[in-house]
Amino acid sequence: FHSLSLSLYPPLVKTPHERSLPHSESLPSDLRTPMLPYQTLDEASAALGRNLTYAETLWFHYSARKSDYFLYCHTILFLFFVFSAIPLPLVFIELARLAGFDRYKIQPKARLSSAEVFRCYKDVMRMFFLVVGPLQLVSYPSIRMIGIRTGLPLPSGWEIFAQLLVYFMVEDYSNYWIHRFLHNKWGYEKIHRVHHEYTAPIGFAAPYAHWAEILILGIPSFLGPAMVPGHLVTFWLWIALRQIEAIETHSGYDFPWSPTKYIPFYGGAEYHDYHHYVGGQSQSNFASVFTYCDYIYGTDKGYRYQKKLFEKLKGELKTGVEHNGGSYHISTQDLKSD
């Protein structure tokens, strides 16, 4: 993995101007170091041996005189935005109870009031400011240690895709085993039961968890970047996409037009909703993103059995309607979990 990372990124060329940029002398040296060792675009272009792309020019203008630590702390802003804004359309659909979307709700009879939704968000924000935010503030040395780079050139689209794929695969596999551990008697009662308070999850409930679980499940998210360190921009994109994926799988809605339907082995909202519906006794659907771990280790049998039973019952009801001249008014929602 490290050889892949090194082959993707040419080393930066340092210049004497790195020492001449203004910064606060009261900060430790690693926090005072400017992002880029170039004072002008011409210097950066000369060091790279080509003209900067438009994105690299924007990055240069924004980051050239900012410290690595300051830019790394932008992660807090991205997480706050994702936690607060991304679930809003789903929450609106949930509270407005729009008829056109009811058919896609996985547990149509499970509804939360606006007060319950706000309480969930409030608890998430409490953990964000007490745990997630401070963790980001103090975790910069680990990011520096694993070699997350911050200068030019910016990674190509292929580099970003390849590294994100590794990050998702590594996180999914390691998260699977930690999640299984949290479903043993001690792990569930002491830690994981908090997350399972929502048997019919909503988007805001994705990061709703015990403080210890937040710390523990941060390990799988860190492993991928540690194995294949990339650019800070790629790291930001990874953190944002992983949280957006978690919000989607906790949305409580299974939309057939979702682009994630085209991702091989992707679990999705219906897959993870079953895990929450069963609750603390669940020994199925532990994977965070994909389904291959549950299939390989046999922890999707309950879910697959329910799916087969559902399809069989739906077929029998459809046959009953036809034999009775269409006198039954049965919808797909009637077959879904309460």
**pLDDT over threshold 50, residue 6:** no
**pLDDT over threshold 70, residue 277:** yes
CA angle 163, 165, 166 (to 5 degrees): 65
**pLDDT over threshold 50, residue 9:** no
**pLDDT over threshold 90, residue 174:** yes
29 domain-assigned = no
* 130 confidence band (pLDDT: 50, 70, 90): very high
Mean pLDDT of 11-32: 38
187 domain-assigned = yes
**pLDDT over threshold 90, residue 319:** no
**Best-predicted range by mean pLDDT among 20-29, 222-231, 294-303, 325-334?**
222-231
% of the chain with per-residue pLDDT over 70: 83
**pLDDT over threshold 50, residue 280:** yes
109 domain-assigned = yes
Mean pLDDT of 161-184: 97
The token pair at 225 is 């970047």
13 domain-assigned = no
**Residue with more model confidence, 65 or 55:** 55
**pLDDT over threshold 50, residue 192:** yes
List, in order, residues 6 or more apart from 217 with CB less than 8 Å away: 175, 178, 209
Distance (Å, rounded) from C-alpha 142 to C-alpha 321? Answer: 62
331 domain-assigned = no
136 domain-assigned = yes
Q: What is the pTM of this model?
A: 0.82
Model pLDDT, residue 32: 42
241 domain-assigned = yes
Model pLDDT, residue 143: 94
Model pLDDT, residue 135: 95
Model pLDDT, residue 27: 39
List, in order, residues 6 or more apart from 68 with CB less than 8 Å away: 30, 31, 33, 35, 140, 144, 150, 232
Q: Lowest-confidence range among 161-165, 187-191, 330-334?
A: 330-334
Distance (Å, rounded) from C-alpha 312 to C-alpha 192? Answer: 34
Model pLDDT, residue 307: 82
304 domain-assigned = no
Q: In the chain, how many domains are there?
A: 1
* Omega before residue 153 within 30° of 0, cis: yes
Whole domain around residue 135: which residue ranges? 70-299
The 10s digit of each residue's pLDDT in 235-274 is 999 999 999 999 999 999 999 999 999 999 999 999 999 9
